[in-house]
Amino acid sequence: AFVGRCHDDEIGDIWERVDFTVEDANPRAAWCEEARKHGGGGGGGGSSGPRSLTGLMNQNAGAITNGGGNNGGFDAGEGDGYKWSQNDEEVELRFPVAAGTKAKYVKVNFARTTLKVIVAGQTLVNGELGGNAEVEDSTWTIEDIKHKGKELCVTICKKEEGRTWPFVLR
């Protein structure tokens, strides 16, 4: 299971992960109480999208089996210290990171038109995106790559699905 927490400031166009503490796991924590209220939590903002993880997974499975969309395939390339790929729905950046890298060393600031990635105090990228991001749906993970070490995988969901970005980051 994955449990995460973020700070989402729509006015400031800021979305960032924050530490999830032991106190946050308490079912009586303020955020749990808020999430239990009608319309609380989830970040859906009244959208008509999937209301559960299962619904989201089923929607994504349909998109995969239907063969994607309008860009005619999958585009990929390399940037300064990372590899990238994009399809109709998202852009993915993969950064090699040290074997001992933990989530607490990673800070990713997603904004509508910019991205900043910092690992262990070092800025890996800080720039303008090639399109608009769906900030609430974008995420990152640290993955063990067999015989290669670890990678930080940053997934940016596209606001305008089906549109190929002319560049990923600059």
Average pLDDT rounded to a whole number, residues 54-79: 50
The C-alpha angle with vertex 64 and arms to 55 and 90, in degrees rounded to 5, equals 85
- Give the model's pLDDT for residue 114: 96
Average pLDDT rounded to a whole number, residues 77-95: 92
Average pLDDT rounded to a whole number, residues 51-67: 43
Higher pLDDT, 149 or 157: 157
Q: Is the pLDDT of residue 12 over 50?
A: yes
Q: Is the pLDDT of residue 67 over 60?
A: no
pTM of the model: 0.57
